[in-house]
C-alpha cells in the first residue's frame, strides 16, 4: 500500500466525514509536490467543515503555483485551516507570483526564501486581512522606481505610512497586534502594527520580509518588534523610522540580548513550522507562530572576509557564494571576485557552497565563525 493511501485510510478510520469526499481529497493532494502530500493530508483532517475550501484552493491554483499552495496548507495554523476560503488563498498566491514576475529582483529570490517570507499572508496572530492585491497596486509603482530591494525597503518605509496615514502611538492604538486594515482604520499602531504594515507592503512587491522582536530587553525596559528584510542576506530596520538598514536606535540594546534566557532572546517569525515559537507578550497562550532564534546575529555580528582560490596559494576565482545555517539559506549567490566581506553571527557553523562563474565547478565546505575575532579571514580552495 502506498504511503499516501495508508494515510488516507487512517484519516477515514478516525475522521468519518472523509468518507463523503475522500476521493476528491486524494485527487487534490495528488496534484501537489510529493514533499507536501503527507502534511497536507493531515492538515485537511484538521480543517473540519472548511476542508472543502482547502481542497478547492488546491485544485483551483494554476499548475506552476501548486508548490505554493502545498507549502501554505502544510504549514498554516489550525485557525486558518478552519477559516480561510479558496478565493483568499488563490488570490494571495496569484499576486505573490505576479509581483515576482513584475519586479527586477523577483526571479533572483530562491524558492525557499520566496515561499517562507514573500508568499505568507500573515506575520503573527493578527486578523487575516486580504491585503495582497491592494498593497500590490498601491506600492508596486513605488518599488519599481528603485534599483534594488534595499533601496525599495527604505523608500517604502516612508511611503507606506504616508500613503496609509498611520502613525506610531503607544496608547492611542486599539491593540498591539493590529492587522493592516485595523491600523489604517485607527490611524495609529504599535511597533508591532507598524511592522506588520511594512512587512506586508514589502511582500506585496516581492521583497522577502519577516517580523523580528524581543519579549523583554535585558534592562527590563519593555519589549520591541521590528522588521527584517532580505536582499541577498538579512538586514534589519525599524518600521516608520528614517534610518538606513542595520542602523536603528535599538542596535546597542540588541547587542545585549541574552540567548540563554527565552525572555531576552531575539526571534524572527517563520511561516514554515519550526521547533520554536515567537513569544507574543499580549497573549502568552499562543504558541502557533513559528520562529527562529536570531539572537547571535545581533549580539555577535562579525565581519568575515571570504576568498576563493583555485588551489592553496593559487589564483583567485570569480565565484558565487551561498551560505546556509541549519539548512536555511541566509546568503544567496553573492559574487566573490576578490576577498569579500560578509556579516555573519559569531559562534556558529555555516554550510558554504561555492560555484565558479567560469567553469561551474562547485565546492561545499563548513566554516565556523569566531565570536572573538571582529574580522575573520577564510580561504576556500577549489582543489
CATH 3.10.620 fits 111-298, yes or no: yes
pLDDT (tens digit per residue) in 100-135: 999 999 999 999 999 999 999 999 999 999 999 999
Q: Cell 504594515 appears where?
A: 197
Closest CA to 273 of 64, 43, 24, 88: 43
Contacts of 78 (CB under 8 A, 6+ apart): 46, 288
Phi, psi of 113 (to 5 degrees): -75, -45
pLDDT band at 373 (very low <50, low <70, confident <90, very high): confident
Where along the chain do its domains lie? 3-84, 111-298, 300-381
Predicted confidence at residue 7, as pLDDT, reads 56
Give the pTM: 0.92
Contact 338, 369 (CB under 8 A): no
Contacts of 169 (CB under 8 A, 6+ apart): 188, 189
Closest CA to 250 of 233, 263, 266, 230: 266
pLDDT (tens digit per residue) in 261-287: 999 999 999 999 999 999 999 999 999
Average pLDDT over residues 290-295: 97
**What does the block give as the cell for 152?**
525599495
Residue 312 has pLDDT above 90, yes or no: no
Predicted confidence at residue 124, as pLDDT, reads 98
Cα–Cα distance measured from residue 324 to residue 367, given in angstroms and rounded to the nearest whole number: 10
Residue 8 has pLDDT above 70, yes or no: no
Question: DSSP assignment of 139-203, as one string?
Answer: HHHHHTT-SSHHHHHHHHHHHHHHHHT-EE-TTTSS-SS--HHHHHHHSEE-HHHHHHHHHHHHH
Cα–Cα distance measured from residue 58 to residue 215, given in angstroms and rounded to the nearest whole number: 37
What is the CATH class of 300-381? Answer: mainly beta
Cβ burial, residue 291 (10 Å; 0-12/13-18/19+): buried
Strand, helix or coil for residue 333: strand
**What does the block give as the cell for 368?**
565556523
Residue 308 has pLDDT above 80, yes or no: yes
Average pLDDT over residues 11-39: 79
Amino acid at each position: 500500500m502506498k504511503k499516501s493511501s495508508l494515510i488516507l485510510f487512517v484519516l477515514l478510520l478516525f475522521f468519518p466525514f472523509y468518507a463523503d469526499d475522500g476521493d476528491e481529497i486524494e485527487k487534490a493532494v495528488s496534484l501537489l509536490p510529493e514533499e507536501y502530500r503527507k502534511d497536507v493530508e493531515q492538515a485537511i483532517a484538521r480543517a473540519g467543515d472548511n476542508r472543502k475550501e482547502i481542497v478547492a484552493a488546491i485544485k483551483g491554483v494554476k499548475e506552476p503555483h501548486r508548490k505554493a499552495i502545498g507549502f501554505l496548507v502544510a504549514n498554516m495554523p489550525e485557525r486558518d485551516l478552519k477559516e480561510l476560503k479558496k478565493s483568499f488563498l488563490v488570490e494571495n498566491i496569484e499576486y505573490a507570483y505576479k509581483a515576482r514576475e513584475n519586479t527586477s529582483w523577483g526571479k533572483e529570490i530562491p524558492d525557499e526564501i520566496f515561499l517562507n517570507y514573500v508568499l505568507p499572508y500573515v506575520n503573527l496572530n493578527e486578523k487575516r486581512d486580504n491585503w495582497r492585491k491592494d498593497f500590490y497596486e498601491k506600492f508596486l509603482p513605488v518599488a519599481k522606481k528603485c534599483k534594488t530591494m534595499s533601496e525599495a525597503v527604505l523608500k517604502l518605509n516612508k511611503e507606506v505610512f504616508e500613503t496609509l496615514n498611520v502613525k506610531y502611538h503607544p496608547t492611542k492604538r486599539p491593540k498591539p497586534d493590529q492587522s493592516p486594515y485595523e491600523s489604517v482604520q485607527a490611524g495609529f499602531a504599535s511597533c508591532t502594527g507598524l511592522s506588520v504594515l511594512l512587512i506586508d507592503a514589502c511582500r506585496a512587491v516581492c521583497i522577502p520580509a519577516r517580523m523580528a522582536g524581543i519579549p523583554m530587553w535585558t534592562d527590563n525596559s519593555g519589549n520591541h518588534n521590528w522588521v527584517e528584510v532580505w536582499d541577498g542576506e538579512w538586514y534589519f530596520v525599524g518600521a516608520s523610522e528614517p534610518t538606513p538598514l542595520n542602523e536603528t536606535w535599538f542596535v546597542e540594546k540588541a547587542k545585549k540580548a541574552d540567548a540563554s534566557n527565552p525572555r531576552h532572546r531575539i526571534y524572527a517569525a517563520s511561516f514554515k513550522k519550526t521547533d520554536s515559537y515567537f513569544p507574543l507578550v499580549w497573549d502568552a497562550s499562543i504558541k502557533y507562530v513559528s520562529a527562529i532564534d536570531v539572537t547571535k546575529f545581533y549580539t555577535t555580528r562579525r565581519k568575515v572576509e571570504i576568498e576563493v582560490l583555485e588551489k592553496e596559494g593559487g589564483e583567485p576565482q570569480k565565484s558565487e557564494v551561498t551560505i546556509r545555517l541549519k539548512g536555511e539559506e541566509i546568503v544567496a549567490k553573492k559574487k566573490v571576485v576578490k576577498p569579500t566581506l560578509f556579516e555573519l553571527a559569531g559562534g556558529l557553523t555555516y554550510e558554504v557552497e561555492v560555484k565558479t562563474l567560469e567553469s561551474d565547478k562547485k565546492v561545499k565546505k563548513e566554516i565556523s565563525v569566531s565570536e572573538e575575532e571582529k574580522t575573520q579571514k577564510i580561504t576556500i580552495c577549489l582543489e
